[in-house]
Amino acid sequence: MPFNMLGLASNFAILLEAQRLIGRVVKPVSEENVDRVDQKVLQASGIELRQEFIQCEKYKIRTVFAGNPADQPLVLIHGHSMSSTLFYRNFADLVDMGYYVIGMDLLGWGRSERPLYTGRTSEDSILFYLESFDDWRRKLQLENFSIISHSIGAYLAYEFARTHPGVVTRLMLITPAAIERKLAFYRGIYFTLTPQMVGRRFGLLGYLLFELKFPGEGPYTQNGLKDLTWQLNCRPTPSGDIAIKNLIEFESWNKPVVKRPLLDHLERLDMPVHIVAADMDTLTPAPVVERLYKALEETGTNCTYDMAVESDHCPFLEVPDQFRRITAQYFVRE
Give the length of the chain: 334
Q: How far is CA 88 from CA 65, 66, 317, in A?
A: 11, 10, 8
Q: Is residue 9 part of a domain?
A: no
CATH code where residue 272 lies: 3.40.50.1820
Categorize the per-residue pLDDT at 21 as very low, low, confident or very high, splitting at 50, 70 and 90.
low
**Residues 282, 217: Cα–Cα separation, whole Å:** 15
Q: Looking at the domain assignment, is residue 25 inside a domain?
A: no
Residue 19 within any structural domain of the chain = no
Q: Span 26-55, mean pLDDT?
A: 91
In a domain, 170, yes or no: yes
Residue 124 is assigned to a structural domain of this protein: yes
Phi, psi torsion values for 18, nearest 5 degrees: -65, -45
Q: Give tens-digit pLDDT for 174-233.
A: 999 999 999 999 889 888 888 888 888 777 787 888 888 888 888 999 999 999 999 998
- pLDDT at site 172: 98
Mean pLDDT calculated for residue range 154-164 = 97
For the chain, how many structural domains are there in total?
A: 1
Q: Which domain holds residue 85?
A: 30-331
Q: Give just the sign of the alpha carbon dihedral 83, 85, 89, 90.
A: positive
232-249 burial, b at 16+ Cβ within 10 Å, e below that, comes to: bbbbeebbbbbbbbbbbe
Please tell me the predicted confidence (pLDDT) of residue 199: 81
Global model pTM greater than 0.75: yes
* Helix-helix angle 2-26:195-213, to 10 degrees: 70
Q: Domain for residue 11, yes or no?
A: no
**266 in a domain, yes or no?**
yes
Residue 144: pLDDT band by 50, 70, 90 thresholds? very high
Whether 240 is in a domain gets the answer: yes
User: pLDDT for 45-80, tens place per residue?
Assistant: 999 999 999 999 899 999 999 999 999 999 999 999
State yes or no: pLDDT of 16 exceeds 90. no
**pLDDT tens readout for residues 228-237:** 999 998 888 8
Q: What was the pLDDT predicted at 169?
A: 97
